[in-house]
């Protein structure tokens, strides 16, 4: 059973249509990437999901039904704009936010020290939030989103301001939470993180879904027949069955013609005595897919306008 | 309700543990207390008037000479001059007496005084306060002499009517001692105190809502509590903190008046009516709820604290109007204008306190004012609830007073 079902939601602010038609489903135990360029309607969609905004059209089901106060307490949210009381001590601020999520004082006393320790913030818990570095504030914000052990976690740019060590810490944590069966919705512009972490994704722009599926499905959909090779020798000008040869840094990008398979091409290169260091099927990166889909979507949008 | 309590607890303890709040709680009453304490010590052995304390230039002030070249002033009665003015024959003698430190300075009445009214005051040092008083005494002396040195006529001229008041309604009778400076000072201070506390409480609210926006915590809070719970939690928290402030300051005010009353002549016999304390809490609470709610509404709509504070001025105008008319209100505590302002909900929390600090107010007027306030509070909170929507709170749009009032009265 899906934990989140978003059906054809739409939301306008005055004359601006922030979300036109967005639908997606998220199952438990996965990390779901909610992607899109700036101003695409991601934040508004999340706010509708969280019941902060009421949609003009469409429905949202959370944990099998409409949102209620009990379900709100089962959601952990890390918003795009970080929000901690700057003049308040870390400990006190996190305790307050946890109590609003329905945690008792005993539960907080038990769990908060563990989270502070995990994020290496124990020594800073008496400091005011404004005295913390951006990275530390980001970690404190993550604690606020996770301390009440939510079933659904919605995180917007979770790696922002984190150094590589802390980025790895958060990645490990997200994988751990996914393995515990939590539903994680992640918004990020860091496509490499999406490739590494997300099981499924939806890409939206201009308030509409442009792409949805598992990471493999998306990649397959955009896979080309191009081959990347690296060789010590310069390649000949022409290779039988190859339409074009383009040098890209240390690599050559070969575009086979007709029905030439990767296997056939490898055999041909070996036959010609070319010394190969690497030979790989060129799979488009998520970055490339993102750019391509958004560009195509915008062209369609302009034509429709 | 549980979340209102949680918001209340966090906001209340967060505010009262702030150094600035604790300092204001202590310093505001401490400074006047110290002033009165010092005045009390100075005044322990002799009963001086407040005017004397502030105006005595030296321990034994020297008299001022009067050189009359017009020949109008020939009698210097001591009951009028109190030894402050003495006759000197001519200017040269006066200058010599100044140099010999026998007089502080001298008035030179011109020979054509009756036509020109010209008097020159010659004095080595300037003291604006004492000079006004010395000139006043000279005015009296000239008037007395112009009236043919007739003491009875002069006294009749200076105090022409002795009113005899017969009060129809004993309850609203103005039996104040018009000579005592406290007659004006006490209502003025109490009005100021109420004005300040309501204003500070309302400012707390606008800042509290603005702070959630500036700190970007508002979005997090919206996923844990609804905007109305947040509004009530804050309203109660800052109202309680302001009430604490009011009680501390009012307590200190009473204490100061007691200390001052034992050592300062001008404060002797001064008493704050007990009914004032009884009614202060409901009038403060309801007044705060109106202004606190309206300010919270501005805070909800303005994109940040700075813009919110800039826009809040217009809502404070009714309270400022009371302050602008304070002397008229004190002068006529049961006049139509004062009674109207003490019943009108936007001005009654402060004006009723002014009236109660002066004396008796008919019970029906107090109860009517409270009833109108309660109704107005309900309407205000319902109207402000229109502004406390997630959409408004998360909007970064510029503040617009027209939209504010439209949302307040008509809704979204």
- Is residue A240 assigned to a domain? yes
Distances (CA, A) of B36 to B22, B43, B193, B405: 22, 10, 18, 46
Chain A residues at the B interface, defined by Cβ less than 8 Å, are 13, 47, 50, 52-53, 72-73, 75, 77, 79, 81-86, 88, 92, 96-97, 99-101, 144
Distance CA A140, CA A146 (A): 10
pLDDT at residue B170 greater than cutoff 70: no
Interface probe, candidates A56, A100, A132, A134, chain B, greatest B C-beta count within 10 A: A100
Instruction: Name the closest residue on chain B to residue A73, using Cα atoms.
Output: B224
Cβ distance A79 to B10 less than 8 Å, yes or no, reads: no
pLDDT at B263: 53
Q: Are residues A151 and A269 in the same domain?
A: no
SS3 of A126, please? coil
Q: Quick check: A228 and A253 in contact, CB under 8 A?
A: yes
Q: Are residues A137 and A269 in the same domain?
A: no
A86 Cα to chain B: minimum distance (Å): 7
Cβ distance A52 to B224 less than 8 Å, yes or no, reads: no
Chain B residues at the A interface, defined by Cβ less than 8 Å, are 3, 6-7, 10, 14, 211, 215-225, 390-391, 394
Arithmetic mean of pLDDT over chain B: 82
Distance CA A211, CA A289 (A): 10
- Is residue A186 assigned to a domain? yes
B248 Cα to chain A: minimum distance (Å): 25
Tokens of A45: 């969609």
Mean pLDDT by 10 residues, chain A (305 residues): 92 88 93 89 90 91 89 90 88 94 93 94 92 91 94 90 90 93 91 87 89 86 83 81 85 84 86 87 81 78 69
Distance CA B382, CA B377 (A): 8
B5: number of Cβ within 10 Å: 14
pLDDT at residue B167 greater than cutoff 70: no
The secondary element (H helix, E strand) that includes residue A2 is none
Cβ distance B223 to A53 less than 8 Å, yes or no, reads: no
Instruction: Name the closest residue on chain A to residue B212, using Cα atoms.
Output: A85
Q: pLDDT grade, residue B262 (50/70/90)?
A: low
**Mean pLDDT across B161-187:** 67
Domain boundary among A220, A240, A267: A220
Q: Give the residue, B4 or A298, on which the prediction is more confident.
A: B4
Handedness of CA A76, A81, A82, A87 (dihedral sign): negative
pLDDT at B58: 46
Q: How far is CA A193 from the centre of its chain?
A: 7
Of A82, A86, A88, the CB nearest to B14: A88
Distance CA A246, CA B51 (A): 99
**Mean pLDDT across B356-384:** 89
- Is residue A241 assigned to a domain? yes
Q: Are residues A231 and A140 in the same domain?
A: no
Residue B168 CB-half CA count within 13 A:
1
Q: Are residues A239 and A125 in the same domain?
A: no
Question: Rounded to two decimals, what is the model's pTM?
Answer: 0.72
> Which chain A residues are closer than 8 Å to B221 by Cβ?
83, 100
Q: Are residues A179 and A273 in the same domain?
A: no
pLDDT at residue B172 greater than cutoff 70: no
pLDDT digits (tens, 9 = 90+) for A254-297: 888 877 888 888 888 888 888 889 998 887 777 888 888 888 77
Question: Which has the minimum average pLDDT: A207-216, B42-51, B286-295?
Answer: B42-51
pLDDT at B27: 84
Distance CA B33, CA B248 (A): 13
CATH code, domain with A67: 3.40.50.300
SS3 of A60, please? strand
pLDDT at residue B59 greater than cutoff 50: no
Domain range enclosing A70:
4-220
pLDDT digits (tens, 9 = 90+) for B206-240: 888 888 887 788 888 888 888 888 888 999 999 99
Distance CA B307, CA B302 (A): 6
Tokens of B229: 């719970």
Cβ distance B224 to A47 less than 8 Å, yes or no, reads: no
B352 Cα to chain A: minimum distance (Å): 38
> Which chain B residues are closer than 8 Å to A73 by Cβ?
224
Distance CA B396, CA B83 (A): 72
A87: number of Cβ within 10 Å: 12
Q: Are residues A142 and A264 in the same domain?
A: no
Q: Are residues A190 and A84 in the same domain?
A: yes
Tokens of B227: 């905007």
pLDDT digits (tens, 9 = 90+) for B302-354: 877 787 777 788 888 898 999 898 888 888 888 889 999 999 999 999 999 88
Nearest to B195 by CA among B325, B349, B300, B15: B349
SS3 of A16, please? strand
- Is residue A295 assigned to a domain? no
CATH number assigned to the domain covering B57-158: 3.40.190
Q: What is the DSSP string of B58-75?
A: SSSPPPEEEEESSS----
Distance CA A108, CA A203 (A): 37
- Is residue A182 assigned to a domain? yes
Cβ distance B223 to A83 less than 8 Å, yes or no, reads: no
Nearest to A3 by CA among A151, A199, A150: A151
> Which chain A residues are closer than 8 Å to B223 by Cβ?
50, 52, 72, 75, 77
- Is residue A246 assigned to a domain? yes
Q: Are residues A126 and A45 in the same domain?
A: yes
- Is residue A262 assigned to a domain? yes
> Which chain B residues are closer than 8 Å to A137 by Cβ?
none
Q: Are residues A52 and A123 in the same domain?
A: yes
Q: Quick check: B380 and B288 in contact, CB under 8 A?
A: no
Number of domains composing chain A: 2
CATH code, domain with A274: 3.30.70
Nearest to A194 by CA among A79, A31, A46, A28: A31
Cβ distance B217 to A53 less than 8 Å, yes or no, reads: no
Q: Are residues A137 and A114 in the same domain?
A: yes
Cβ distance B394 to A83 less than 8 Å, yes or no, reads: no
Domain boundaries, chain B: 2-41+176-410, 57-158
Q: Are residues A149 and A265 in the same domain?
A: no
Rg of chain A over Cα atoms, rounded to whole angstroms, equals 24
pLDDT digits (tens, 9 = 90+) for B127-158: 666 777 788 889 999 999 999 888 888 888 88
- Is residue A247 assigned to a domain? yes
Q: Are residues A170 and A35 in the same domain?
A: yes
pLDDT at residue B54 greater than cutoff 80: no
pLDDT at residue B401 greater than cutoff 90: no
Distance CA B246, CA B240 (A): 10
């Amino acid at each position: 059973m899906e934990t989140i079902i978003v059906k054809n939601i739409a939301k306008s602010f005055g004359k601006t249509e922030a979300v036109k038609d967005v639908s997606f489903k998220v199952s438990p135990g996965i990390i779901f990437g909610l992607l899109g360029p700036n101003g695409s309607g991601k934040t508004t969609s999340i706010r509708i999901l969280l019941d902060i905004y009421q949609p003009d059209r469409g429905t949202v089901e959370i944990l099998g039904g409409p949102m209620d106060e009990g379900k709100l307490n089962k959601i952990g949210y890390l918003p795009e704009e970080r929000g901690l009381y700057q003049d308040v001590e870390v400990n006190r601020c996190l305790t307050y936010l946890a109590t609003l999520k329905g945690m008792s004082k005993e539960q907080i006393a038990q769990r908060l020290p563990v989270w502070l320790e995990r994020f290496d913030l124990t020594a800073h818990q008496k400091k005011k939030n404004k005295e913390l570095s951006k990275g530390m504030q980001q970690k404190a914000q993550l604690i606020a989103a996770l301390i009440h052990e939510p079933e659904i976690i919605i995180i917007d740019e979770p790696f922002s301001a984190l150094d590589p060590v802390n980025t790895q810490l958060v990645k490990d944590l997200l994988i751990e939470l996914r393995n515990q069966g939590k539903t994680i919705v992640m918004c990020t512009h860091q496509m490499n993180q999406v490739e590494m972490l997300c099981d499924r994704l939806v890409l939206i722009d201009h308030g509409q879904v442009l792409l949805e599926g598992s990471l493999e499905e998306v990649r397959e959909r955009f896979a080309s027949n191009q081959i990347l090779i690296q060789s010590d020798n310069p390649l000949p000008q022409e290779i039988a069955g190859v339409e074009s040869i383009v040098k890209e840094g240390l690599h050559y990008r070969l575009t086979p013609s007709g029905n030439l398979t990767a296997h056939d091409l490898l055999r041909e290169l070996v036959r010609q005595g070319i010394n190969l260091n690497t030979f790989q099927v060129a799979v488009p990166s998520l970055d490339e897919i993102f750019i391509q889909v958004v560009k195509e979507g915008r062209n369609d949008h302009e034509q429709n306008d | 309700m549980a979340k209102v309590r949680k918001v209340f607890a966090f906001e209340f303890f967060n505010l009262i543990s702030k150094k600035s709040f604790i300092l204001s709680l202590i310093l505001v009453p401490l400074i006047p207390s110290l002033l009165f304490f010092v005045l009390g010590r100075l005044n322990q052995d002799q009963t001086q008037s407040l005017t004397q304390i502030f105006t005595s230039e030296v321990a034994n002030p020297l008299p001022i000479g009067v050189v009359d070249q017009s020949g109008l002033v020939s009698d210097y009665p001591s009951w009028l001059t109190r030894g402050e003015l003495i006759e000197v024959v001519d200017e040269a003698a006066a200058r010599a007496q100044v140099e010999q430190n026998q007089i502080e300075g001298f008035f030179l009445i011109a020979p054509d005084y009756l036509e020109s009214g010209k008097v020159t005051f010659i004095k080595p040092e300037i003291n604006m306060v004492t000079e006004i008083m010395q000139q006043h005494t000279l005015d009296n002396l000239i008037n007395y002499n112009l009236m043919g040195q007739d003491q009875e006529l002069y006294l009749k001229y200076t105090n022409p009517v002795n009113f005899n008041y017969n009060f129809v309604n004993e309850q609203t009778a103005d039996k104040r001692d018009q000579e005592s400076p406290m007659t004006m000072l006490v209502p003025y201070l109490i009005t100021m105190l109420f004005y300040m506390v309501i204003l500070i409480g309302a400012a707390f609210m606008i800042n509290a809502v603005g702070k959630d926006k500036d700190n970007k915590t508002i979005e997090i809070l919206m996923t844990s509590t609804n905007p109305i719970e947040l509004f009530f939690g804050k309203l109660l928290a800052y109202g309680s903190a302001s009430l604490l402030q009011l009680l501390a300051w009012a307590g200190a005010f009473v204490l100061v008046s007691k200390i001052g009353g034992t050592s300062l002549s001008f404060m002797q016999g001064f008493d704050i009516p007990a009914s004032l304390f009884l009614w202060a809490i409901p009038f403060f609470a309801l007044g705060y709820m109106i202004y606190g709610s309206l300010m919270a509404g501005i805070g909800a709509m303005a994109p940040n604290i700075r813009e919110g504070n800039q826009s809040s001025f217009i809502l404070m105008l009714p309270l400022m109007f009371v302050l602008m008319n304070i002397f008229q209100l004190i002068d006529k505590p049961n006049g139509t204008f004062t009674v109207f302002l003490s019943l009108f909900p936007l001005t009654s929390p402060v004006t009723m306190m002014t009236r109660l600090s002066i004396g008796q107010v008919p019970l029906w007027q107090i109860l009517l004012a409270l009833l109108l306030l309660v109704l107005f509070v309900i309407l205000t909170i319902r109207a402000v609830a229109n502004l406390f929507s997630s959409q408004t709170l998360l909007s970064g749009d510029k503040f617009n007073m027209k939209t504010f009032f439209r949302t307040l009265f008509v809704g979204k």
